[in-house]
Amino acid sequence: MAPGQYLPMESAIHRLDPRAKFISAVFVMMAALTSGWAGMGVTALCITAGIILSRIPAGVLGMQMKSLRLIIIITVLFQILFTPGNVLYSAGPVQITTQGLTAGFDLLARLVLVIFTGIILTATTSSFSLAAGMEILFKPLDRLGIPVHEIVMALTIAIRFVPVIFEEAGIIVNAQISRGAAFNGPGLARRAGAVVSLMVPLLTGALRRSDELATAMEARCYSGGAGRTRMNALTVSAGDIICVLFSGVTLAAAVILRMTLAL
């Protein structure tokens, strides 16, 4: 299962209004990014509750984290290697400091919390539901001349294309391996050549998929947000209110712990 892919199943989180899930996800991400270690602990408990209520299998969470491991590793390494402070280890121009290790672990924890929050949101909300909810939330910006529908549609397509790109990459990698490509073979030059042989057909496949999407939208006479209606109207339930309040309390607790206890 690729990052950003919707997981159709029955759960308490799946049944929530997409607007409530989006607002709650923003609150939890803010708590993860702005709090100290104690606040991150509170945020982790909130995310754990979300994972349990969403009934997302642990294997799916592991697969999605594995797909993003390279981004996480590179980001954390940059934080560790380029943060000045008391040197613990030095090898030529490379220095590892106490402050760098602390900052690296801090960033790693925040990234994991943010990624898990994003996984819960995208795995329990279809791209169309998320687009409808975001469009309603940002509708007041229409009065400022901001094309809300077009922006939301572009974001939705971008999110929807993430699993499509991963699927296309998997197909191409398997085809290239069957032809003798060495993605995991010895030698940096061979691996680099294999990656180049992946990028060209991947770009071609992405352009083909986008052209198919454009043709499908034209066939359905899509012309923007003006005059469009929805088959299913979004309604707010008690569960939605509880979800937003719970995430809001999580953010407030994280901020209070950071301000009062410096934790």
Tens-digit pLDDT profile for residues 233-247: 788 899 999 999 999
Q: 29 with 122: CB under 8 angstroms?
A: no
183: confidence class by pLDDT, cuts 50, 70, 90: low
Structure tokens at 182: 């060495």
Q: Output 77 or 162, whichever has higher pLDDT.
A: 77
Report in angstroms the alpha-carbon separations of 1 from 102, 162, 166, 173: 32, 11, 9, 16
Average pLDDT, the chain: 84
Q: 97 with 86: CB under 8 angstroms?
A: yes
Local structure of 221: helix, strand or coil: coil
Q: What percent of the chain lies above the pLDDT cut of 70?
A: 88
How is residue 156 annotated by DSSP? Answer: H
Q: Is the backbone of residue 262 left (phi > 0), alpha (psi -120 to 50) or beta?
A: left
pTM for the predicted model, two decimal places: 0.79
Q: 118-127, pLDDT tens digit by residue?
A: 999 989 998 8
Report in angstroms the alpha-carbon separations of 91 from 73, 78, 87: 20, 16, 11
Q: How many CB atoms lie within 10 A of CB 225?
A: 15
Residue whose C-alpha is closest to residue 129's, from 241, 9, 21, 18: 18
User: Which amino acid, 216?
Assistant: A
pLDDT at 189 over 80: no
Residues 224 and 130: their CA atoms lie apart, in Å, by 17
pLDDT at 188 over 60: no
Residue whose C-alpha is closest to residue 113's, from 6, 262, 251: 251
Structure tokens at 67: 């797909």
225: confidence class by pLDDT, cuts 50, 70, 90: low
Residues 63 and 68: their CA atoms lie apart, in Å, by 9
Q: 124 with 12: CB under 8 angstroms?
A: no
Write the burial class of residue 213 (CB in 10 Å: 0-12 exposed, 13-18 middle, 19+ buried). Answer: middle
Residues 97 and 90: their CA atoms lie apart, in Å, by 9
181: confidence class by pLDDT, cuts 50, 70, 90: low
Structure tokens at 6: 């919707």
Mean pLDDT along residues 129-133? 86
pLDDT at 102 over 70: yes
- Give the DSSP H/E element, type plus range, for residue 247: helix 238-260
Write the burial class of residue 233 (CB in 10 Å: 0-12 exposed, 13-18 middle, 19+ buried). Answer: exposed
88 backbone dihedrals φ, ψ, rounded to 5°? -100, -35
